[in-house]
Amino acid sequence: MTAQTNHPPPQIAEHRLDLDWIRIGAFGLLILYHVGMLYVSWGFHVKSAHRLRELEPLMLLLNPWRMALLFLVSGAATRFMLGKYEIGTFARRRSARLLIPLAFGMLVVVPLQSWAEVVEKLGFSGSYLDFWFGHYLAFDQGFCRVENGRQNCIILPTWNHLWFVVYLFLYTMALAGLIALAPGLAARCERFLERALPGLLLLIGPALLLGLNRFLIFPAAPPTYIVVGDWYQHVLYGFCFLFGFLAARSQILAERTERLRWFALVLAAAAFLAMLWLRAQPPGDLRRLAGPFIYGLDQWCWIVAILGFARRHLSRSDGPVRRYLVEAVFCWYIVHQTAIILAAHWLKPLALPAGQEASLVIAITALACAASYEIARRIGWLRPLFGIAADRRKRLSVSRPQPSSASATSS
């Protein structure tokens, strides 16, 4: 007789609704974060006349993990896409989905940010068309000013917030090439990850790696967003992208994040409070030695907590809202920062109170993003420019064989 069990073997996921909701939420937080950049004390392309110091702790809460989480979710999406297409087809489709919006964004969307920046920071008085043709497209590197004893120049042309698309493309193509050379590597690495990160090691191991990255690489290669020499961010985002890729279909790792969600949340909150306390201390060995590892713990524990709570509460949450937002969110990402900067630039002469100004910036940004998506998704040639996939209904109608005239008349 064979032993019977009531527990079926774990199913291999082909799609994860919880990751869709995380992606939507992460992009939403990113929009609010960039609105917040208008009001905090550190630099941004344009600034409000108001400074809201009380906003800075909230910004510091989001800053360590917001982009890392997006790369992790993007890695997971890459794993699912590779399950649907051959490597060559995947590489072509992914290149088009990322590089066409990147080129369009750098030529059309981002220049408006640079124009507002040179107007506000350097007193440029020409029209936007003068700036676009005569400076932006001419690769003019002469927009410079001295800040803190150093000359800072605005790079033209630029990708600004679209650096995420550049890095995502590079990581995706590197991974696709590796999988092409070793087709079974992903499954083997997934099993290795499951064995290597049992229990609390799922929290401590990656947090230690991110802390070492902050301790060793950040001082020598701080973020540049220009690919070359950006080693701190390549380790951080490359690791998160790879982890998301390897963990995407693993029931074991997903269940571990769910079990650890509360403990991860407590550790994340404690690490964040410790970070705030360290920032208030004078520079010294304590900040230099402990700060990077507390930062790494903060980064990873927030990510694990979010993954765990999303799996617990959003794994079966589906409907038209999710389907709408998951298609719209990339278009919103492309448009949002330009909308924020232009709204802040045009509202500044009105000298509104901070609350009214911020509310208007958020409302204008949301309307601009929604309008861009609603227009672009209805016009076939605009869809790829704004990162919107081809209309599935039209693809089906094109691929479905049409009846001949004889069969049509006889039916």
Residue 230 has pLDDT above 80, yes or no: yes
Burial class (CB in 10 A: 0-12, 13-18, 19+), 99: middle
pLDDT at 145: 86
Residue 205 has pLDDT above 70, yes or no: yes
pLDDT at 398: 42
User: Average pLDDT over the chain, rounded to whole?
Assistant: 90
Confidence of residue 8 (pLDDT cuts 50, 70, 90): very low
The one-letter code for the residue type at 252 is: I
pLDDT at 400: 47
Per the model's pLDDT, the better-predicted residue between 12 and 93 turns out to be 93
Residue 409 has pLDDT above 70, yes or no: no
Instruction: Yes or no: say if 283 and 242 are a contact pair by the CB < 8 Å rule.
Output: no
pLDDT tens for residues 102-125? 999 999 999 999 999 999 999 999
pLDDT at 392: 62
Q: Where are the domains of the chain?
A: 17-41+53-110+159-388
For the chain, the residue count is 411
pLDDT at 394: 55
Residue 405 has pLDDT above 80, yes or no: no
Q: What is the mean pLDDT of residues 155-178?
A: 96
Confidence of residue 393 (pLDDT cuts 50, 70, 90): low
* Residue 145 φ then ψ, to 5°: -155, 160
Beta bridge pairs of residue 152: 145
pLDDT tens for residues 238-290? 999 999 999 999 999 999 999 999 999 999 999 999 999 999 999 899 999 99
Per the model's pLDDT, the better-predicted residue between 179 and 147 turns out to be 179
pLDDT at 84: 86
Per the model's pLDDT, the better-predicted residue between 392 and 45 turns out to be 45
Residue 66 has pLDDT above 50, yes or no: yes
The one-letter code for the residue type at 71 is: F
Instruction: Yes or no: say if 347 and 361 are a contact pair by the CB < 8 Å rule.
Output: yes
Residue 24 has pLDDT above 70, yes or no: yes
d(CA 7, CA 19): 25
pLDDT at 146: 81
Residue 9 has pLDDT above 70, yes or no: no
